């Protein structure tokens, strides 16, 4: 079996591009066999170039979807089909790809493809199924804020036992960051060049991270209230900033009223089927981690995070209401979705339709750490947090566990694996609330100026690749921190008075400002397409 890899996507209305990558063989030709409700047609691919040790062929079409297709590769003495089941060598393929992958294509007999030149697909039957992503995201520079640790504004509503700003972070302590603090620092963010904020969860919750929601319709009192959120969104919009909130819809807090009702009333609770209950009553305390799974499903065995049951129609309806409520009532510009791969996938097309009905330009970005192709076909998410990109940059620039060839392959695969509309709005990050800080990562191998230069190289790559760069709060000044919870330290607003690190931090901040300015000054960095 010979190496072959291809990508098909729609960069614009009514345009489809297919790019095929093959091992170099001379001579070789390739063609695309299409079939749809109007018949079949075979079209040749054009040789584009030989680079990186591969031959590249391309075809651009105005006909796009829905249709089925297979690829033919012809070399001296051999003709083979590339199909979903691998190579085939019969006169016609037995298995077919679909475009879009989720589309239903009317079945046609195989003989319709036996003489493709005589049975062309009708152009009017091949109108593009549009995959539109928000135009503003292509121009965006995101800034992720862990709300409890970014800035403390007044009036602050402190939880019991709030610690001084800058205390070492733990899983359970509070520092008093809130939405007012973000409002107070908007001038700093606009001066930096930020155009969009992604806020970690802000809804009522007993924790500092808020990924265990008690009430999905209430801003946590420690952070503010609905009116403060509205003021924040309005102030951002006046400055040209968008606001994306974090939705934790796979699980909730065990202090959520719905789960407490189940805990008290068992099978008699109207919310019994909102969760995955195995046994009842629940014990007052759980022993070893994961023991809770004897009684109910929860996220990764944490008894405080019961998993929601999306097979129940009331659960679906409830969270569709949550999603649209905050779009309408607060004017937010999109949702970042926590662990969406753990929610039944049939929910997300409904989520997309509901969100886009309120705001067609709302951004839907999922937290998927590996291949996200199944969620990026135009019917679910606009993009994902690009952890594959992040791992590649860390592996190459910081840890040096990836050579140049492997790094180049990874970036090419990222471009090929996802449709261009999704690639253009991917959330490209170097770090987040779930990873070690980039500065800490580079310092494991280098020290001083060498670490700083490695971080600059990573940032330069981040800001010149396709997608929307996202800065985790404080990374622009080289904040340090290992994995959660250490990566959730307070922003050191007095850093300029700290003699030890003020020089490197000022240098890195100036570098980030320059990167952002360069990206804004050159449209190709925001709207260019790799061919």
For tokens 């700083």, the residue is: 452
Claim to verify: residue 224 and residue 284 sit in the same structural domain? no
The CATH number given to whatever domain includes residue 60 is 2.60.40.10
Claim to verify: residue 274 and residue 339 sit in the same structural domain? no
Nearest-angstrom CA–CA distance, 58 and 75: 17
- Looking at the chain, the whole-number percentage of residues with pLDDT higher than 90 is 68
Q: Are 408 and 363 in contact (CB under 8 A)?
A: no
Mean pLDDT computed over 7-27: 76
* 135 within a domain of the structure (yes/no): no
Contacts of 292-300 with C-beta under 8 Å, sequence gap 24+, read 298/251, 299/250, 299/251, 299/339, 299/342
Q: 443: part of which helix (H) or strand (E)?
A: helix 438-443
In this prediction, residue 122 carries a pLDDT of 34
Per DSSP, the residues of 240-254 read T-EEEEEE--SB--T
Which position among 338, 382, 475, 476 bears the catalytic label? 338
Nearest-angstrom CA–CA distance, 148 and 222: 9
Mean pLDDT computed over 405-429: 90
* 132 within a domain of the structure (yes/no): no
Residue among 269, 263, 267, 268 nearest 282 (CA):
263
If DSSP codes are grouped into helix, strand and coil, which group holds residue 102? coil
Nearest-angstrom CA–CA distance, 110 and 128: 24
Nearest-angstrom CA–CA distance, 271 and 508: 51
Residue 18 has pLDDT above 80, yes or no: yes
In this prediction, residue 290 carries a pLDDT of 78
If DSSP codes are grouped into helix, strand and coil, which group holds residue 121? coil
Total number of domains in the chain: 3
Nearest-angstrom CA–CA distance, 98 and 69: 6
Report the chain's mean pLDDT, rounded to a whole number.
90
Residue 391 has pLDDT above 90, yes or no: yes
* 439 within a domain of the structure (yes/no): yes
Which position among 180, 367, 382, 476 bears the catalytic label? 367
Residues sharing a CB contact under 8 Å with residue 115, sequence separation 6 or more, in sequence order: none
Residue 517 neighbours by CB distance under 10 Å = 11
Residue 141 CA to its chain's centroid (Å): 14
Read off the pLDDT of residues 189-215 as tens digits, 9 standing for 90 and up.
999 999 999 999 999 999 999 999 999
* 130 within a domain of the structure (yes/no): no
The CATH number given to whatever domain includes residue 205 is 3.20.20.80
Nearest-angstrom CA–CA distance, 334 and 362: 5
Nearest-angstrom CA–CA distance, 204 and 215: 5
Residue 2 — very low, low, confident or very high, per pLDDT cuts 50/70/90?
low
Read off the pLDDT of residues 44-57 as tens digits, 9 standing for 90 and up.
999 988 887 888 89
Domain hosting 97: range is 4-125
In this prediction, residue 531 carries a pLDDT of 60
Please report the sign of the dihedral spanned by the C-alpha atoms of residue 461, residue 467, residue 469, residue 470: negative
Burial class (CB in 10 A: 0-12, 13-18, 19+), 206: middle
Is residue 338 among the annotated active site residues? yes
Q: Which of 125, 158, 181 is the last residue of a domain?
A: 125
Q: Which of 72, 93, 125 is the last residue of a domain?
A: 125
If DSSP codes are grouped into helix, strand and coil, which group holds residue 86? strand
Claim to verify: residue 439 and residue 373 sit in the same structural domain? yes
In this prediction, residue 394 carries a pLDDT of 96
Claim to verify: residue 303 and residue 413 sit in the same structural domain? no
Q: Which of 125, 159, 175 is the last residue of a domain?
A: 125
* 133 within a domain of the structure (yes/no): no
Q: Are 340 and 368 in contact (CB under 8 A)?
A: yes
* 211 within a domain of the structure (yes/no): yes
Claim to verify: residue 173 and residue 184 sit in the same structural domain? yes
Radius of gyration of the chain, Cα coordinates, nearest whole angstrom: 26
Claim to verify: residue 477 and residue 499 sit in the same structural domain? yes
pTM for the model stands at: 0.84
Read off the pLDDT of residues 281-331 as tens digits, 9 standing for 90 and up.
999 989 877 789 999 999 999 999 999 999 999 999 999 999 999 999 999
Q: Are 326 and 362 in contact (CB under 8 A)?
A: no
In this prediction, residue 127 carries a pLDDT of 30
Q: Distance between terminal CA atoms of the chain?
A: 26
Claim to verify: residue 355 and residue 431 sit in the same structural domain? yes
Claim to verify: residue 327 and residue 296 sit in the same structural domain? no
Residues sharing a CB contact under 8 Å with residue 388, sequence separation 6 or more, in sequence order: 369, 370, 371, 410, 414
Comparing 64-73, 262-271, 407-416, 488-497, the range with the smallest average pLDDT is: 64-73
Comparing 59-63, 452-456, 511-515, the range with the smallest average pLDDT is: 59-63
Claim to verify: residue 54 and residue 114 sit in the same structural domain? yes
Mean pLDDT computed over 457-477: 98
Read off the pLDDT of residues 75-108 as tens digits, 9 standing for 90 and up.
888 899 999 888 898 888 999 988 766 556 655 5
Claim to verify: residue 377 and residue 484 sit in the same structural domain? yes
Burial class (CB in 10 A: 0-12, 13-18, 19+), 464: middle
Claim to verify: residue 406 and residue 461 sit in the same structural domain? yes
Residue 11 — very low, low, confident or very high, per pLDDT cuts 50/70/90?
low
* 201 within a domain of the structure (yes/no): yes
Claim to verify: residue 454 and residue 354 sit in the same structural domain? yes
* 136 within a domain of the structure (yes/no): no
Residue 121 has pLDDT above 70, yes or no: no
Nearest-angstrom CA–CA distance, 334 and 326: 9
């Amino acid at each position: 079996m010979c190496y072959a890899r291809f990508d098909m996507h729609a960069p614009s209305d009514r345009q489809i591009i297919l790019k095929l990558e093959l091992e170099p063989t001379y001579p070789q030709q390739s063609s695309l066999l299409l079939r749809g409700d109007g018949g079949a047609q075979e079209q040749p691919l054009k040789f584009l170039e030989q680079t990186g040790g591969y031959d590249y062929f391309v075809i651009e079409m105005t006909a796009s979807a829905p249709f089925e297709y297979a690829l033919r590769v012809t070399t001296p003495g051999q003709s083979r089909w590339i199909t979903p089941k691998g190579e085939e060598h019969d006169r016609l393929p037995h298995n077919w790809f679909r475009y879009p992958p989720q589309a239903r294509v009317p079945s046609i007999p195989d003989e319709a493809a036996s003489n493709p030149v005589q049975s062309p697909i009708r152009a009017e039957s091949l109108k593009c199924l549009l995959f539109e992503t928000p135009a503003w995201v292509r121009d965006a520079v995101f800034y992720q804020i862990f709300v409890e640790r970014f800035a403390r504004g007044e009036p602050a509503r402190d939880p019991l036992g709030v610690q001084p700003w800058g205390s070492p972070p733990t899983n359970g302590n509070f520092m008093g960051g809130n939405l007012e603090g973000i409002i107070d620092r908007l001038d700093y963010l606009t001066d930096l060049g930020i155009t969009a904020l992604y806020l970690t969860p802000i809804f009522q919750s007993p924790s500092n991270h808020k990924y265990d929601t008690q009430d999905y319709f209430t801003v946590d009192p420690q952070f503010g209230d609905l009116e403060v959120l509205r003021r924040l969104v309005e102030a951002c919009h006046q400055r040209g900033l968008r606001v994306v909130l974090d939705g934790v819809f796979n699980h909730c807090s065990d202090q959520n009223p719905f789960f407490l009702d189940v805990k008290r009333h068992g099978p008699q609770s109207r919310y019994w089927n909102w969760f995955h209950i195995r046994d009842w009553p629940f014990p007052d305390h759980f022993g070893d981690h994961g023991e809770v799974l004897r009684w109910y499903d929860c996220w990764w065995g944490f008894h405080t995070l019961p998993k929601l049951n999306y097979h129940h129609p009331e659960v679906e309806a409830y969270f569709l209401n949550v999603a649209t409520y905050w779009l309408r009532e607060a004017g937010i510009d999109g949702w970042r979705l926590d662990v969406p791969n753990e929610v039944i996938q049939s929910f997300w097309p409904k989520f997309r339709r509901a969100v886009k009905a309120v705001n067609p330009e709302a951004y839907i970005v999922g937290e998927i750490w590996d291949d996200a192709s199944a969620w990026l076909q135009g019917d679910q998410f606009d993009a994902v947090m690009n952890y594959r990109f992040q791992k590649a940059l860390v592996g190459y620039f910081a840890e040096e566990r990836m050579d140049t060839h492997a790094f180049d392959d990874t970036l090419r695969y990222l471009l090929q694996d996802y449709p261009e509309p999704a690639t253009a709005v991917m959330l490209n990050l170097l770090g987040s609330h779930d990873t070690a800080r980039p500065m800490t990562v580079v310092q494991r191998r280098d020290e001083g100026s060498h670490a700083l230069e490695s971080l600059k190289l990573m940032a330069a790559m981040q800001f010149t690749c396709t997608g929307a760069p996202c800065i985790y709060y404080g990374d622009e000044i080289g904040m340090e921190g290992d994995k959660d919870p250490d990566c959730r330290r307070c922003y050191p607003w007095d850093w300029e008075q700290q003699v030890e690190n003020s020089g490197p931090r000022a240098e890195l901040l100036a570098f980030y400002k320059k990167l952002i300015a360069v990206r804004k000054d050159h449209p190709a960095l925001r709207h260019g397409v790799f061919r």
